[in-house]
Amino acid sequence: MSEAIVVENLTKVYGRPGTGLLAVDQIGFEVHEGEVFGFLGPNGAGKTTTQRMLTTLLEPTSGRIVIFGHDLARDAYPVKRQMGLVPEESNVYTELTAWDNLMFTAQLYRVPRHERAQRAQQLLESFGLWEKRNVRVENFSKGMRRRLSIAMAIIHRPRLLFLDEPTPGLDTQSAHAIRDLIRQLNAEGTTIFLTTHQIEEANQLCDRVAIINHGHIAAIDTPERLKAAFRRVQSVEVALEPDGQTHGGALSALAGVTHVVKMGDKWRLYTQDPSMLLPQVTDYARASGLRLISLSTLGPSLEDVFLELTGQQVGTIRHDMAEEGPRRRGMKGQMGGGR
Amino acid sequence: MILKDLRTQYLRPGMIMFAFLMPFFMFFSFAVRRDMAAAQGVARLLALTTFFTASAAGPFIIPLERRVGTYDRLLAAPMSLLTLLAGKAAVGALFAMGVSVFSLLVGVVAFGATIARPWLLVAGITLGSFSFSALGLIFGSIPTRNPGDVQMPSTLLRWALMFVSGVFIPLAEMAPAARAVAYISPLTYAQDLMNHAVLGMGTLSSWLDLALLLACGLLFMVPPVLMHRRARRLGY
Protein backbone atom coordinates (compact mmCIF):
# COMPACT_ATOMS: atom_id res chain seq x y z
CA MET A 1 0.00 0.00 0.00
CA SER A 2 1.50 3.36 -0.99
CA GLU A 3 1.64 6.18 1.49
CA ALA A 4 -0.17 9.45 0.87
CA ILE A 5 1.47 11.16 3.86
CA VAL A 6 4.61 10.30 5.79
CA VAL A 7 5.38 12.39 8.86
CA GLU A 8 8.69 11.98 10.68
CA ASN A 9 9.71 13.62 13.98
CA LEU A 10 7.46 16.59 13.33
CA THR A 11 7.78 19.36 15.91
CA LYS A 12 6.22 22.80 16.09
CA VAL A 13 7.14 25.50 18.56
CA TYR A 14 5.10 28.70 18.37
CA GLY A 15 7.41 31.65 18.77
CA ARG A 16 11.14 31.23 19.09
CA PRO A 17 12.55 27.77 19.86
CA GLY A 18 13.57 27.66 23.52
CA THR A 19 11.16 30.34 24.66
CA GLY A 20 8.10 29.52 22.57
CA LEU A 21 5.15 27.23 23.12
CA LEU A 22 5.67 23.60 22.16
CA ALA A 23 2.50 22.57 20.32
CA VAL A 24 3.60 19.39 18.54
CA ASP A 25 6.45 17.26 19.82
CA GLN A 26 8.29 14.78 17.59
CA ILE A 27 5.24 13.08 16.13
CA GLY A 28 5.36 10.53 13.35
CA PHE A 29 2.70 8.66 11.38
CA GLU A 30 1.74 7.50 7.90
CA VAL A 31 -1.52 7.91 6.04
CA HIS A 32 -2.15 5.23 3.42
CA GLU A 33 -3.43 6.29 0.05
CA GLY A 34 -7.20 5.77 -0.21
CA GLU A 35 -7.97 5.64 3.49
CA VAL A 36 -9.92 7.92 5.81
CA PHE A 37 -7.48 8.83 8.53
CA GLY A 38 -8.88 10.41 11.67
CA PHE A 39 -6.79 12.78 13.74
CA LEU A 40 -8.38 13.00 17.17
CA GLY A 41 -7.49 14.97 20.22
CA PRO A 42 -8.88 17.31 22.83
CA ASN A 43 -8.77 21.07 22.31
CA GLY A 44 -5.20 22.34 22.31
CA ALA A 45 -3.71 18.90 21.68
CA GLY A 46 -1.99 19.95 18.45
CA LYS A 47 -4.49 18.73 15.83
CA THR A 48 -4.95 21.94 13.91
CA THR A 49 -1.27 22.83 14.22
CA THR A 50 -0.38 19.50 12.62
CA GLN A 51 -2.93 19.99 9.89
CA ARG A 52 -1.65 23.50 9.17
CA MET A 53 1.87 22.12 8.80
CA LEU A 54 0.62 19.40 6.46
CA THR A 55 -1.15 21.99 4.32
CA THR A 56 1.92 24.31 4.14
CA LEU A 57 0.27 27.06 6.19
CA LEU A 58 2.82 26.62 8.98
CA GLU A 59 6.49 25.77 8.76
CA PRO A 60 7.57 22.94 11.05
CA THR A 61 10.23 23.79 13.61
CA SER A 62 11.82 20.43 12.81
CA GLY A 63 10.91 17.14 11.23
CA ARG A 64 9.89 16.04 7.79
CA ILE A 65 6.63 15.79 5.86
CA VAL A 66 6.43 13.81 2.64
CA ILE A 67 3.19 13.88 0.67
CA PHE A 68 2.82 11.68 -2.43
CA GLY A 69 6.59 11.33 -2.45
CA HIS A 70 7.31 15.07 -2.37
CA ASP A 71 9.18 16.60 0.55
CA LEU A 72 6.95 19.49 1.58
CA ALA A 73 9.87 21.68 2.66
CA ARG A 74 11.51 21.54 -0.77
CA ASP A 75 8.78 20.72 -3.24
CA ALA A 76 5.43 22.06 -2.05
CA TYR A 77 3.97 23.13 -5.39
CA PRO A 78 2.99 19.69 -6.79
CA VAL A 79 1.57 18.76 -3.39
CA LYS A 80 -0.54 21.90 -3.24
CA ARG A 81 -2.03 21.04 -6.61
CA GLN A 82 -3.10 17.63 -5.34
CA MET A 83 -4.60 18.63 -2.01
CA GLY A 84 -7.83 20.25 -0.96
CA LEU A 85 -8.44 21.97 2.34
CA VAL A 86 -11.68 22.45 4.25
CA PRO A 87 -10.84 24.48 7.35
CA GLU A 88 -12.90 24.58 10.53
CA GLU A 89 -14.53 27.86 9.56
CA SER A 90 -16.11 27.77 6.11
CA ASN A 91 -13.82 30.20 4.30
CA VAL A 92 -16.09 31.10 1.44
CA TYR A 93 -16.43 34.53 -0.14
CA THR A 94 -19.75 35.68 1.24
CA GLU A 95 -20.01 38.60 -1.18
CA LEU A 96 -19.90 36.23 -4.16
CA THR A 97 -22.48 33.73 -5.35
CA ALA A 98 -21.95 29.99 -4.95
CA TRP A 99 -21.19 29.77 -8.66
CA ASP A 100 -18.58 32.56 -8.54
CA ASN A 101 -16.93 30.98 -5.49
CA LEU A 102 -16.48 27.75 -7.43
CA MET A 103 -15.30 29.52 -10.56
CA PHE A 104 -12.71 31.48 -8.58
CA THR A 105 -11.38 28.34 -6.88
CA ALA A 106 -11.28 26.50 -10.20
CA GLN A 107 -9.14 29.31 -11.64
CA LEU A 108 -6.93 29.31 -8.57
CA TYR A 109 -6.23 25.59 -9.03
CA ARG A 110 -5.85 25.91 -12.80
CA VAL A 111 -8.77 23.69 -13.70
CA PRO A 112 -8.92 23.77 -17.54
CA ARG A 113 -11.26 26.53 -18.67
CA HIS A 114 -13.56 24.19 -20.63
CA GLU A 115 -14.08 21.94 -17.59
CA ARG A 116 -14.81 24.58 -14.95
CA ALA A 117 -18.51 25.13 -15.64
CA GLN A 118 -19.21 21.41 -16.01
CA ARG A 119 -17.48 20.53 -12.74
CA ALA A 120 -19.13 23.40 -10.88
CA GLN A 121 -22.57 22.33 -12.09
CA GLN A 122 -21.89 18.72 -11.15
CA LEU A 123 -20.77 19.67 -7.65
CA LEU A 124 -23.58 22.13 -7.02
CA GLU A 125 -26.13 19.55 -8.11
CA SER A 126 -24.72 16.75 -6.02
CA PHE A 127 -24.38 19.05 -2.99
CA GLY A 128 -27.96 20.29 -3.35
CA LEU A 129 -26.92 23.86 -4.10
CA TRP A 130 -27.73 24.12 -7.81
CA GLU A 131 -30.96 26.03 -7.23
CA LYS A 132 -29.04 28.56 -5.13
CA ARG A 133 -26.10 28.94 -7.49
CA ASN A 134 -26.78 32.62 -8.17
CA VAL A 135 -27.51 33.55 -4.56
CA ARG A 136 -24.84 35.45 -2.64
CA VAL A 137 -23.30 33.19 -0.03
CA GLU A 138 -24.01 35.66 2.78
CA ASN A 139 -27.62 34.42 2.55
CA PHE A 140 -26.61 30.76 2.97
CA SER A 141 -27.12 28.72 6.15
CA LYS A 142 -24.12 27.31 8.00
CA GLY A 143 -24.71 23.86 6.50
CA MET A 144 -24.95 25.25 2.96
CA ARG A 145 -21.71 27.20 3.45
CA ARG A 146 -20.05 24.06 4.71
CA ARG A 147 -21.15 22.10 1.67
CA LEU A 148 -19.97 24.89 -0.62
CA SER A 149 -16.65 25.00 1.22
CA ILE A 150 -16.20 21.26 0.57
CA ALA A 151 -17.23 21.70 -3.07
CA MET A 152 -14.59 24.43 -3.43
CA ALA A 153 -11.98 22.15 -1.91
CA ILE A 154 -12.64 19.34 -4.38
CA ILE A 155 -13.35 21.16 -7.65
CA HIS A 156 -9.80 20.40 -8.80
CA ARG A 157 -10.30 16.72 -7.88
CA PRO A 158 -7.57 16.45 -5.25
CA ARG A 159 -6.02 13.13 -4.33
CA LEU A 160 -5.85 14.22 -0.70
CA LEU A 161 -8.51 16.15 1.19
CA PHE A 162 -7.96 17.75 4.60
CA LEU A 163 -11.12 18.28 6.62
CA ASP A 164 -10.92 20.18 9.89
CA GLU A 165 -13.93 19.61 12.16
CA PRO A 166 -16.40 19.30 9.29
CA THR A 167 -19.66 18.90 11.22
CA PRO A 168 -19.72 20.73 14.58
CA GLY A 169 -22.46 23.32 14.79
CA LEU A 170 -24.46 21.78 11.97
CA ASP A 171 -27.97 20.40 12.28
CA THR A 172 -28.29 16.61 12.23
CA GLN A 173 -29.42 16.50 8.60
CA SER A 174 -26.50 18.61 7.34
CA ALA A 175 -23.98 16.68 9.44
CA HIS A 176 -25.35 13.41 8.09
CA ALA A 177 -25.17 14.70 4.51
CA ILE A 178 -21.54 15.75 4.99
CA ARG A 179 -20.58 12.38 6.46
CA ASP A 180 -22.17 10.67 3.45
CA LEU A 181 -20.22 13.02 1.22
CA ILE A 182 -16.95 12.09 2.91
CA ARG A 183 -17.72 8.40 2.41
CA GLN A 184 -18.56 9.01 -1.24
CA LEU A 185 -15.35 10.99 -1.87
CA ASN A 186 -13.32 8.26 -0.23
CA ALA A 187 -15.11 5.59 -2.29
CA GLU A 188 -14.08 7.53 -5.40
CA GLY A 189 -10.44 7.26 -4.31
CA THR A 190 -9.75 10.46 -2.39
CA THR A 191 -7.56 10.05 0.67
CA ILE A 192 -9.18 11.89 3.58
CA PHE A 193 -7.35 13.40 6.55
CA LEU A 194 -10.08 14.16 9.06
CA THR A 195 -9.26 16.32 12.06
CA THR A 196 -11.96 16.09 14.66
CA HIS A 197 -12.76 15.97 18.33
CA GLN A 198 -16.05 14.22 17.59
CA ILE A 199 -15.12 10.71 18.48
CA GLU A 200 -18.23 8.98 17.22
CA GLU A 201 -17.77 10.70 13.86
CA ALA A 202 -14.26 9.28 13.64
CA ASN A 203 -15.60 5.88 14.70
CA GLN A 204 -18.13 5.93 11.87
CA LEU A 205 -15.89 7.30 9.14
CA CYS A 206 -12.27 6.40 9.71
CA ASP A 207 -10.27 3.40 8.61
CA ARG A 208 -7.60 4.34 11.16
CA VAL A 209 -7.31 7.01 13.81
CA ALA A 210 -4.43 8.71 15.55
CA ILE A 211 -5.06 10.14 18.99
CA ILE A 212 -2.93 13.15 19.83
CA ASN A 213 -2.63 14.60 23.29
CA HIS A 214 -0.35 17.37 24.56
CA GLY A 215 1.48 17.35 21.24
CA HIS A 216 2.27 13.61 21.34
CA ILE A 217 0.68 10.74 19.45
CA ALA A 218 -0.92 8.55 22.10
CA ALA A 219 -2.11 5.78 19.76
CA ILE A 220 -2.64 4.95 16.10
CA ASP A 221 -4.80 2.06 14.96
CA THR A 222 -8.18 1.09 13.59
CA PRO A 223 -11.09 2.10 15.84
CA GLU A 224 -11.99 -1.54 16.53
CA ARG A 225 -8.43 -2.53 17.46
CA LEU A 226 -8.16 0.43 19.77
CA LYS A 227 -11.39 -0.57 21.47
CA ALA A 228 -10.19 -4.17 21.73
CA ALA A 229 -7.03 -2.99 23.45
CA PHE A 230 -9.16 -1.36 26.13
CA ARG A 231 -11.44 -4.21 27.06
CA ARG A 232 -10.95 -3.30 30.69
CA VAL A 233 -13.18 -0.30 30.05
CA GLN A 234 -16.44 -2.26 29.94
CA SER A 235 -19.67 -1.37 31.59
CA VAL A 236 -23.19 -2.39 32.44
CA GLU A 237 -25.93 0.15 31.96
CA VAL A 238 -29.13 -0.15 33.92
CA ALA A 239 -32.35 1.84 34.17
CA LEU A 240 -34.43 1.27 37.32
CA GLU A 241 -37.91 2.33 38.32
CA PRO A 242 -38.42 4.18 40.53
CA ASP A 243 -35.15 5.98 39.84
CA GLY A 244 -33.31 7.96 42.47
CA GLN A 245 -29.93 9.11 43.67
CA THR A 246 -30.01 6.53 46.44
CA HIS A 247 -29.15 3.71 43.99
CA GLY A 248 -25.66 5.14 43.47
CA GLY A 249 -24.22 3.97 46.77
CA ALA A 250 -25.75 0.52 46.54
CA LEU A 251 -24.69 -0.07 42.91
CA SER A 252 -21.11 1.06 43.52
CA ALA A 253 -20.94 -1.42 46.42
CA LEU A 254 -21.59 -4.39 44.08
CA ALA A 255 -18.59 -6.70 43.61
CA GLY A 256 -16.39 -5.83 40.59
CA VAL A 257 -17.71 -2.28 40.06
CA THR A 258 -14.86 0.20 39.61
CA HIS A 259 -17.08 3.25 39.54
CA VAL A 260 -20.60 4.37 38.80
CA VAL A 261 -21.82 7.28 36.70
CA LYS A 262 -25.40 8.58 36.57
CA MET A 263 -26.35 9.25 32.96
CA GLY A 264 -29.82 10.75 32.69
CA ASP A 265 -32.31 8.10 33.84
CA LYS A 266 -29.66 5.37 33.66
CA TRP A 267 -26.73 4.20 35.72
CA ARG A 268 -23.49 3.10 34.11
CA LEU A 269 -21.44 0.67 36.18
CA TYR A 270 -17.84 0.29 34.99
CA THR A 271 -16.35 -3.14 35.48
CA GLN A 272 -13.80 -5.56 34.08
CA ASP A 273 -16.29 -8.43 34.14
CA PRO A 274 -19.84 -7.56 33.04
CA SER A 275 -20.99 -11.19 33.10
CA MET A 276 -20.29 -11.36 36.82
CA LEU A 277 -22.05 -8.08 37.45
CA LEU A 278 -25.29 -8.73 35.56
CA PRO A 279 -26.82 -11.19 38.08
CA GLN A 280 -25.84 -8.92 40.94
CA VAL A 281 -27.74 -6.03 39.34
CA THR A 282 -30.87 -8.14 38.81
CA ASP A 283 -30.59 -9.42 42.39
CA TYR A 284 -30.33 -5.84 43.67
CA ALA A 285 -33.40 -4.81 41.70
CA ARG A 286 -35.40 -7.78 42.94
CA ALA A 287 -34.34 -7.35 46.53
CA SER A 288 -35.17 -3.64 46.49
CA GLY A 289 -38.53 -4.10 44.77
CA LEU A 290 -37.43 -2.14 41.69
CA ARG A 291 -38.56 -2.61 38.09
CA LEU A 292 -35.69 -3.21 35.68
CA ILE A 293 -36.50 -0.97 32.67
CA SER A 294 -33.39 -1.84 30.68
CA LEU A 295 -30.11 -3.64 31.22
CA SER A 296 -27.25 -3.62 28.70
CA THR A 297 -23.60 -4.46 28.61
CA LEU A 298 -21.35 -2.11 26.69
CA GLY A 299 -17.88 -2.62 25.26
CA PRO A 300 -15.42 0.22 25.35
CA SER A 301 -16.38 3.03 22.97
CA LEU A 302 -13.79 4.99 21.05
CA GLU A 303 -14.63 7.78 23.45
CA ASP A 304 -13.63 5.57 26.39
CA VAL A 305 -10.36 4.78 24.62
CA PHE A 306 -9.84 8.46 23.92
CA LEU A 307 -10.48 9.42 27.53
CA GLU A 308 -8.15 6.69 28.79
CA LEU A 309 -5.38 7.75 26.43
CA THR A 310 -5.77 11.45 27.08
CA GLY A 311 -5.63 10.91 30.82
CA GLN A 312 -9.21 11.80 31.59
CA GLN A 313 -11.32 9.48 33.70
CA VAL A 314 -14.03 7.57 31.91
CA GLY A 315 -17.37 9.03 32.78
CA THR A 316 -16.14 12.53 33.49
CA ILE A 317 -17.42 13.71 30.14
CA ARG A 318 -21.03 13.38 29.07
CA HIS A 319 -21.53 10.38 26.79
CA ASP A 320 -23.75 11.04 23.81
CA MET A 321 -26.18 8.16 24.02
CA ALA A 322 -27.84 8.88 20.68
CA GLU A 323 -24.60 8.14 18.86
CA GLU A 324 -23.73 4.98 20.76
CA GLY A 325 -26.39 2.56 19.58
CA PRO A 326 -24.27 0.34 17.30
CA ARG A 327 -21.83 -0.76 19.99
CA ARG A 328 -24.48 -2.15 22.33
CA ARG A 329 -24.40 -5.87 22.45
CA GLY A 330 -26.55 -6.81 25.39
CA MET A 331 -30.11 -7.14 26.55
CA LYS A 332 -31.71 -3.95 25.40
CA GLY A 333 -35.36 -3.18 25.90
CA GLN A 334 -38.13 -3.79 28.31
CA MET A 335 -37.31 -6.31 30.99
CA GLY A 336 -39.71 -7.50 33.55
CA GLY A 337 -37.40 -8.01 36.43
CA GLY A 338 -37.53 -7.24 40.08
CA ARG A 339 -40.80 -8.81 40.91
CA MET B 1 -7.93 37.14 -7.97
CA ILE B 2 -8.04 40.73 -9.23
CA LEU B 3 -11.74 40.66 -10.13
CA LYS B 4 -12.59 38.69 -7.01
CA ASP B 5 -10.80 41.18 -4.77
CA LEU B 6 -12.38 44.16 -6.49
CA ARG B 7 -15.83 42.63 -6.06
CA THR B 8 -15.46 41.35 -2.52
CA GLN B 9 -13.26 43.87 -0.74
CA TYR B 10 -13.03 47.24 -2.41
CA LEU B 11 -16.62 48.37 -1.94
CA ARG B 12 -16.55 47.98 1.83
CA PRO B 13 -17.26 51.18 3.79
CA GLY B 14 -13.75 51.18 5.28
CA MET B 15 -12.16 51.04 1.85
CA ILE B 16 -14.41 53.77 0.48
CA MET B 17 -13.46 55.94 3.45
CA PHE B 18 -9.72 55.33 3.53
CA ALA B 19 -9.07 54.79 -0.15
CA PHE B 20 -11.58 56.96 -1.97
CA LEU B 21 -12.68 59.86 0.20
CA MET B 22 -9.46 60.41 2.17
CA PRO B 23 -7.36 61.82 -0.72
CA PHE B 24 -10.15 64.23 -1.62
CA PHE B 25 -10.51 65.38 2.00
CA MET B 26 -6.76 65.83 2.25
CA PHE B 27 -6.63 67.76 -0.99
CA PHE B 28 -9.50 70.12 -0.21
CA SER B 29 -8.35 70.74 3.35
CA PHE B 30 -5.05 72.06 2.02
CA ALA B 31 -6.30 73.60 -1.23
CA VAL B 32 -9.06 75.86 0.05
CA ARG B 33 -8.17 79.54 0.32
CA ARG B 34 -4.82 78.97 -1.38
CA ASP B 35 -3.88 80.63 -4.58
CA MET B 36 -3.42 77.63 -6.84
CA ALA B 37 -3.80 77.12 -10.58
CA ALA B 38 -6.21 74.37 -11.69
CA ALA B 39 -3.42 72.30 -13.26
CA GLN B 40 -1.33 72.58 -10.10
CA GLY B 41 -4.31 71.41 -8.06
CA VAL B 42 -4.94 68.47 -10.36
CA ALA B 43 -1.28 67.38 -10.12
CA ARG B 44 -1.51 67.41 -6.32
CA LEU B 45 -4.86 65.62 -6.29
CA LEU B 46 -3.51 62.88 -8.57
CA ALA B 47 -0.41 62.35 -6.43
CA LEU B 48 -2.53 62.21 -3.26
CA THR B 49 -5.05 59.85 -4.88
CA THR B 50 -2.46 57.33 -6.04
CA PHE B 51 -0.72 57.51 -2.67
CA PHE B 52 -3.67 57.20 -0.30
CA THR B 53 -5.85 54.92 -2.40
CA ALA B 54 -3.15 52.43 -3.34
CA SER B 55 -1.59 52.25 0.13
CA ALA B 56 -4.98 51.82 1.87
CA ALA B 57 -5.74 48.43 0.31
CA GLY B 58 -3.16 46.17 1.96
CA PRO B 59 -3.67 47.27 5.60
CA PHE B 60 -7.43 46.98 5.26
CA ILE B 61 -8.01 43.94 3.09
CA ILE B 62 -5.43 41.37 4.16
CA PRO B 63 -6.34 41.43 7.90
CA LEU B 64 -10.00 41.14 6.91
CA GLU B 65 -9.23 38.13 4.72
CA ARG B 66 -7.26 36.62 7.58
CA ARG B 67 -10.23 37.08 9.89
CA VAL B 68 -12.68 35.22 7.65
CA GLY B 69 -10.13 32.57 6.70
CA THR B 70 -10.06 33.28 2.97
CA TYR B 71 -6.40 34.31 3.17
CA ASP B 72 -5.49 30.74 4.18
CA ARG B 73 -7.26 29.56 1.03
CA LEU B 74 -4.90 31.72 -1.02
CA LEU B 75 -1.79 30.73 0.96
CA ALA B 76 -2.59 27.03 0.52
CA ALA B 77 -3.25 27.41 -3.21
CA PRO B 78 -0.67 26.27 -5.76
CA MET B 79 1.13 29.56 -6.27
CA SER B 80 4.22 31.14 -4.79
CA LEU B 81 4.08 33.70 -2.02
CA LEU B 82 5.53 36.29 -4.37
CA THR B 83 2.78 35.62 -6.92
CA LEU B 84 0.14 36.07 -4.25
CA LEU B 85 1.65 39.32 -2.99
CA ALA B 86 2.22 40.67 -6.49
CA GLY B 87 -1.42 39.90 -7.23
CA LYS B 88 -2.54 41.76 -4.11
CA ALA B 89 -0.32 44.71 -5.06
CA ALA B 90 -1.75 44.67 -8.58
CA VAL B 91 -5.36 44.79 -7.32
CA GLY B 92 -4.59 47.75 -5.06
CA ALA B 93 -2.79 49.47 -7.93
CA LEU B 94 -5.68 48.91 -10.34
CA PHE B 95 -8.15 50.31 -7.86
CA ALA B 96 -5.92 53.37 -7.29
CA MET B 97 -5.60 53.85 -11.04
CA GLY B 98 -9.38 53.80 -11.37
CA VAL B 99 -9.80 56.40 -8.63
CA SER B 100 -6.99 58.47 -10.20
CA VAL B 101 -8.83 58.49 -13.51
CA PHE B 102 -11.88 59.76 -11.64
CA SER B 103 -9.73 62.50 -10.04
CA LEU B 104 -8.35 63.38 -13.45
CA LEU B 105 -11.84 63.69 -14.89
CA VAL B 106 -12.83 65.96 -11.99
CA GLY B 107 -9.75 68.10 -12.70
CA VAL B 108 -10.27 68.26 -16.44
CA VAL B 109 -14.05 68.65 -16.51
CA ALA B 110 -14.65 70.76 -13.39
CA PHE B 111 -11.50 72.86 -13.35
CA GLY B 112 -10.55 72.86 -17.04
CA ALA B 113 -7.06 71.52 -16.40
CA THR B 114 -4.97 70.38 -19.36
CA ILE B 115 -2.37 67.61 -19.41
CA ALA B 116 1.05 68.54 -20.76
CA ARG B 117 2.52 65.04 -21.20
CA PRO B 118 -0.21 62.35 -21.17
CA TRP B 119 2.16 59.36 -21.55
CA LEU B 120 4.05 60.49 -18.46
CA LEU B 121 0.77 60.79 -16.61
CA VAL B 122 -0.12 57.19 -17.48
CA ALA B 123 3.34 55.96 -16.50
CA GLY B 124 3.32 57.99 -13.29
CA ILE B 125 -0.12 56.84 -12.18
CA THR B 126 0.72 53.21 -13.01
CA LEU B 127 4.11 53.13 -11.31
CA GLY B 128 2.98 55.29 -8.38
CA SER B 129 -0.08 53.09 -7.80
CA PHE B 130 1.96 49.90 -7.83
CA SER B 131 4.67 51.35 -5.60
CA PHE B 132 2.23 52.67 -2.99
CA SER B 133 0.16 49.50 -3.13
CA ALA B 134 3.33 47.56 -2.28
CA LEU B 135 3.91 50.00 0.60
CA GLY B 136 0.44 49.10 1.91
CA LEU B 137 1.29 45.41 1.71
CA ILE B 138 4.00 45.92 4.31
CA PHE B 139 1.34 46.84 6.84
CA GLY B 140 -1.02 44.15 5.54
CA SER B 141 1.71 41.62 6.31
CA ILE B 142 1.58 42.34 10.03
CA PRO B 143 0.07 39.08 11.29
CA THR B 144 -3.24 40.25 12.71
CA ARG B 145 -6.89 39.55 11.98
CA ASN B 146 -8.00 43.01 12.99
CA PRO B 147 -7.63 45.83 10.43
CA GLY B 148 -7.75 48.31 13.33
CA ASP B 149 -4.38 47.04 14.59
CA VAL B 150 -2.80 47.95 11.27
CA GLN B 151 -4.67 51.13 10.38
CA MET B 152 -3.09 53.19 13.16
CA PRO B 153 0.59 52.62 12.28
CA SER B 154 -0.09 52.70 8.55
CA THR B 155 -2.02 55.97 8.77
CA LEU B 156 0.72 57.47 10.95
CA LEU B 157 3.43 56.59 8.46
CA ARG B 158 1.43 57.67 5.43
CA TRP B 159 0.66 61.06 6.96
CA ALA B 160 4.31 61.52 7.90
CA LEU B 161 5.37 60.66 4.35
CA MET B 162 2.80 63.09 3.01
CA PHE B 163 3.84 66.00 5.23
CA VAL B 164 7.57 65.67 4.51
CA SER B 165 6.97 65.26 0.76
CA GLY B 166 6.70 68.01 -1.82
CA VAL B 167 2.93 67.77 -2.16
CA PHE B 168 1.98 70.94 -0.31
CA ILE B 169 5.27 72.85 -0.42
CA PRO B 170 7.02 72.48 -3.78
CA LEU B 171 10.51 71.00 -3.60
CA ALA B 172 12.04 74.11 -5.12
CA GLU B 173 10.69 76.28 -2.29
CA MET B 174 11.93 73.99 0.50
CA ALA B 175 14.94 74.70 2.70
CA PRO B 176 17.85 72.33 1.95
CA ALA B 177 17.29 70.33 5.15
CA ALA B 178 13.56 69.96 4.46
CA ARG B 179 14.31 68.98 0.89
CA ALA B 180 16.74 66.29 2.10
CA VAL B 181 13.95 64.88 4.28
CA ALA B 182 11.48 65.12 1.38
CA TYR B 183 13.65 62.81 -0.69
CA ILE B 184 12.95 60.05 1.84
CA SER B 185 9.27 60.05 0.87
CA PRO B 186 8.30 58.22 -2.33
CA LEU B 187 5.37 60.59 -2.59
CA THR B 188 7.87 63.34 -3.46
CA TYR B 189 8.77 61.55 -6.70
CA ALA B 190 5.14 60.84 -7.54
CA GLN B 191 4.31 64.52 -7.01
CA ASP B 192 7.26 65.66 -9.10
CA LEU B 193 6.22 63.24 -11.83
CA MET B 194 2.64 64.56 -11.78
CA ASN B 195 4.07 68.07 -12.07
CA HIS B 196 6.00 66.98 -15.15
CA ALA B 197 2.93 65.26 -16.60
CA VAL B 198 0.30 67.91 -15.87
CA LEU B 199 2.27 71.17 -15.71
CA GLY B 200 5.06 70.16 -18.05
CA MET B 201 7.78 70.95 -15.51
CA GLY B 202 9.24 69.48 -12.34
CA THR B 203 12.21 69.81 -10.04
CA LEU B 204 13.91 66.48 -10.68
CA SER B 205 14.31 64.59 -13.94
CA SER B 206 11.11 62.76 -14.87
CA TRP B 207 13.21 59.69 -15.68
CA LEU B 208 14.73 59.81 -12.23
CA ASP B 209 11.23 60.07 -10.72
CA LEU B 210 10.11 57.02 -12.72
CA ALA B 211 13.21 55.02 -11.82
CA LEU B 212 12.91 55.84 -8.12
CA LEU B 213 9.19 54.98 -8.02
CA LEU B 214 9.95 51.64 -9.68
CA ALA B 215 12.80 51.00 -7.25
CA CYS B 216 10.55 51.87 -4.29
CA GLY B 217 7.87 49.52 -5.59
CA LEU B 218 10.31 46.63 -5.89
CA LEU B 219 11.91 47.44 -2.54
CA PHE B 220 8.51 47.58 -0.83
CA MET B 221 7.79 44.02 -2.00
CA VAL B 222 10.69 42.63 0.05
CA PRO B 223 9.38 43.20 3.63
CA PRO B 224 5.97 41.57 2.93
CA VAL B 225 7.69 38.43 1.64
CA LEU B 226 10.00 38.31 4.67
CA MET B 227 7.17 39.07 7.09
CA HIS B 228 4.96 36.30 5.65
CA ARG B 229 7.83 33.83 5.86
CA ARG B 230 8.51 34.83 9.45
CA ALA B 231 4.84 34.49 10.38
CA ARG B 232 4.75 31.02 8.81
CA ARG B 233 7.93 30.01 10.62
CA LEU B 234 7.01 31.36 14.06
CA GLY B 235 3.32 30.54 13.76
CA TYR B 236 1.91 34.04 14.24
User: pLDDT tens-digit profile of A247-283?
Assistant: 888 898 999 888 888 888 899 998 888 888 999 999 9
Q: From the centroid of its chain, how far is CA A323?
A: 12
DSSP letters spanning B37-58: -HHHHHHHHHHHHHHHHHHHHH
Contact A85 B232 (CB under 8 A): no
Bridge partners of A191?
Answer: A160
What pLDDT score was predicted for residue A325? 34
Pairing status of strand A36-40 against strand A62-67: unpaired
Q: Look at residue B225 and give its three-state secondary structure.
A: helix
Contact A108 B232 (CB under 8 A): no
A-chain residue closest to B10, CA distance: A95
What pLDDT score was predicted for residue A1? 65
What tens digit of pLDDT does each residue of A318-337 get? 333 333 333 333 333 333 33
Name residues of chain B where pLDDT drops below 50. Answer: none
From chain B residues 34-93, the ones with a CB under 8 A of any chain A CB are 68-70, 72-80
| ipTM for the assembly | 0.80
A-chain residue closest to B11, CA distance: A95
Per the document, the length of chain A is 339
A-chain residue closest to B66, CA distance: A91
Residues of A in contact with B80 (CB under 8 A): 77
Closest among B233, B69, B85, B77 to A73, alpha carbons compared:
B233
Contact B8 A95 (CB under 8 A): yes
What pLDDT score was predicted for residue B8? 67
Residues of A in contact with B69 (CB under 8 A): 87, 89-91
Contact between A137 and A148 under an 8 Å Cβ cutoff? The reply is yes
Alpha-carbon distances of A331 from A75, A186, A322, B18, rounded to whole Å? 56, 35, 17, 70
Contact B232 A57 (CB under 8 A): yes
Contact A108 B79 (CB under 8 A): yes
Contact between A109 and A153 under an 8 Å Cβ cutoff? The reply is no
Alpha carbon distance A165, A95 (integer Å) = 24
Q: Out of A23, A57, A109, whose CB is closest to B78?
A: A109
Contact between B124 and B210 under an 8 Å Cβ cutoff? The reply is yes
Q: Out of B1, B74, B234, whose CB is closest to A16?
A: B234
pTM of the model: 0.80
Tell me the angle at which helices B38-68 and B22-31 cross, rounded to the nearest 10 degrees.
150
Contact between A156 and A187 under an 8 Å Cβ cutoff? The reply is no
Contact A58 B232 (CB under 8 A): yes
**B175 — contact with chain A (CB < 8 Å)?**
no
What tens digit of pLDDT does each residue of A58-97 get? 999 999 999 999 999 999 999 999 999 998 887 899 989 9
Structural element, H or E, at residue B125: helix B118-140
Residues of B in contact with A81 (CB under 8 A): 78
What pLDDT score was predicted for residue B113? 80
Q: How far is B130 from chain A (nearest CA, A)?
A: 22
Sign of CA dihedral B33, B39, B42, B48: negative
Contact A85 B72 (CB under 8 A): yes
Contact B76 A92 (CB under 8 A): no
Tell me the angle at which helices B222-234 and B118-140 cross, rounded to the nearest 10 degrees.
20
Contact A56 B75 (CB under 8 A): yes
Residues of B in contact with A12 (CB under 8 A): 235
Residues of A in contact with B229 (CB under 8 A): 59
Sequence-distant (≥ 6) Cβ neighbours of residue A249 within 8 angstroms: none
Q: Out of A49, A59, A110, whose CB is closest to B233?
A: A59
Highest-confidence segment of A23-32, A223-232, A253-262, B97-106: A23-32
- Per-residue buried b or exposed e for B171-209, using 16+ beta carbons within 10 Å of the residue's own CB: beebeeeebeebeebbbbbbbbbbbbbbbeebbbebeeb
What tens digit of pLDDT does each residue of A154-209 get? 999 999 999 998 888 778 888 888 889 899 999 999 999 999 888 888 888 999 99
Contact A14 B235 (CB under 8 A): yes
**B235 — contact with chain A (CB < 8 Å)?**
yes
